């Protein structure tokens, strides 16, 4: 039987900076919970709402795989490698921070809020040359199935990172059920309910609730509401970086 941990949406850390309303699934910035430091290599899962025209000024990162998934609105990105662009709903952005990178990210709209997930994973290779990538996906390809949005460098399906991790997103009709097969025996899955109500291995979860499961090879997800949406993060539970 799978080991399971449930993180209800209301138990997350919270920070309201006026221009930024952030929810933290794991310890981050001023939120510290010794029971929520990480889930395997999954170190950060921030659920951010950024006010119109506002954002994060230039700041540094290193030796972290940083994935940004817009949920509503668009992000304006600039970094020290000369990359700049707009990331919108349906896009996925990744930065392998490696030896060091600086970037800024702002709400591209002057009138509408921006909602996004920002996710950090510990890499399996340290001090790599920093890299930036983004991909535009067809969100219709996740209707009643799990669309892979991220994979390891060896596979390169969706966008790739320096880690043996696979991310998928699905949007389901009411009562639709899907089985997810864990990619590696030593991996676990952390599933965030983006929207709606779902049952995952017998546990009923709703908007922004999350569940972590490990020591299992398959997870069953059933939608209890129309257009229920999930983000599945399949990640190593133990880790080391070269």
Closest residue by Cα to residue 77 from 55, 98, 62 = 55
**pLDDT tens readout for residues 18-32:** 999 999 999 999 999
The single-letter DSSP state of residue 90 is T
Backbone angles phi, psi at 187, to 5 degrees: -90, 160
Statement: residue 156 has pLDDT above 80: no
Q: What is the pLDDT of residue 85?
A: 87
Tell the residue number behind the tokens 């030896």, with chain if given: 99
pLDDT at 240 over 70: no
Q: Quote the mean pLDDT of the chain.
A: 94
Q: By C-alpha distance, which of 2, 1, 7 is closest to 193? A: 7
Single pTM value for the model: 0.96
CA gap 206, 168 in Å, rounded: 18
- How is the chain split into domains, by residue range? 3-236
Q: How confident is the model at residue 11 (pLDDT cuts 50, 70, 90)?
A: very high
> What is the spatial distance between Cα 79 and Cα 172, in angstroms, rounded to a whole number?
36
CATH classification for the domain delimited by 3-236, as one of 2.60.120.10, 3.40.109.10, 2.40.30.10, 2.60.40.10: 2.60.120.10
Q: How confident is the model over 63-73, as pLDDT tens digits?
A: 999 999 999 99
Residue 1 CA neighbour count, 13 Å, CB half: 4
């Amino acid at each position: 039987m799978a080991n399971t941990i449930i993180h209800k949406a209301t138990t997350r850390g919270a920070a309201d900076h006026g221009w930024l309303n952030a929810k933290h699934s794991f310890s981050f910035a001023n939120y510290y919970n010794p029971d929520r430091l990480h889930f395997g290599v999954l170190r950060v899962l921030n659920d951010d709402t950024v006010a119109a025209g506002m954002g994060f000024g230039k700041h540094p990162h290193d030796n972290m795989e940083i994935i940004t998934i817009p949920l509503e609105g668009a992000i304006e990105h600039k970094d020290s490698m000369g990359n700049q662009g707009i990331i919108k709903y349906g896009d996925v952005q990744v930065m392998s921070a490696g030896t060091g990178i600086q970037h800024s990210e702002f709400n591209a709209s002057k009138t509408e809020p921006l909602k996004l997930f920002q996710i950090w994973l510990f890499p399996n290779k340290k001090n790599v040359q920093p890299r930036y990538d983004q991909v535009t996906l067809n969100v219709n390809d996740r209707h009643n199935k799990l669309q892979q949005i991220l994979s390891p460098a060896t596979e390169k399906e969706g966008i790739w990172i320096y880690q043996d991790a696979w991310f998928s997103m699905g949007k389901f009709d009411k009562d639709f059920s899907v089985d997810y097969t864990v990619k590696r025996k030593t991996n676990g899955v952390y599933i965030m309910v983006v929207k709606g109500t779902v049952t995952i291995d017998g546990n009923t979860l709703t908007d922004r609730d999350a569940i972590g499961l490990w020591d299992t090879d398959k997870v069953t997800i059933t939608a209890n509401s129309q257009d229920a949406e999930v983000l599945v993060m399949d990640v190593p539970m133990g880790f080391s970086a070269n």
